[in-house]
Amino acid sequence: MSLTVVAILVVLFLAAVWVVSLYNGLVRLKHGVSKAWSNIDVLLKQRHDELPKLVETCKQYMQHERTTLERVIAARNAVASAREQHDVGALGQAESGLRAGLGQLFALAENYPDLKANDSFQHLQQRISGLENAIADRRELYNEAVNLNNVRVEQFPDVIIARLFAFQAAELLEFSDAEKADVDLKSLFN
């Protein structure tokens, strides 16, 4: 075997190793995004299961706040629908509505001392608040996984392999500007 043939075989072998390495890296990132989404999905499901208990507890005390309770249930259903369809954009919007409704519900609960003193309400409020914090943490991890994936599928030379094997950019989980704005507590009590 001539030296030229050996050199060509070595170059081809190294090129194949390089392509496989790029491909495997993209696969790892894609599955990292899926794993991060699954972590959020578990927490959303847990919160979804807790919200009816909270609303039922509140209904016993807050007869005059039916609109707020209905808004929380409607937002809960919108989150569940977006979650089941894996629609990250719709989930961000639905989450914004749910968080606003929960904020209003918890603020209105201040007007009902018996409700605030209820052990079930206190437990559910703490549980849901804990889930909210965990969702925020997981959202940060998810968005970081998405960012790493998106950079790699657009970056040269990975973009060649990404296009060749149909790797796609993923969508960030973002909440609306209203969600990020300061809450006007005065308006909640009018």
Query: What are residue 180's phi and psi, to 5 degrees?
Result: -85, -15
Q: Are the CB atoms for 138 and 43 separated by under 8 Å?
A: yes
Opening angle at CA 165, ends 174 and 28, nearest 5: 55
Cα separation, 38 vs 135, whole angstroms:
11
Can you list the domains of the chain with their CATH numbers?
Answer: 34-131 (1.20.1440.20)
Query: What are residue 2's phi and psi, to 5 degrees?
Result: -80, 165
| Tens-digit pLDDT string for the chain (190 aa) | 788 889 999 999 999 999 999 999 999 999 999 999 999 889 888 988 888 888 888 877 777 677 888 888 888 899 889 888 888 888 888 888 888 888 888 888 888 888 777 888 888 888 888 998 898 899 999 999 999 999 999 999 999 999 989 999 998 888 765 444 444 444 443 3
Residue 190: enclosing H or E segment and its boundaries? none
Q: Is the pTM of this model over 0.75?
A: no
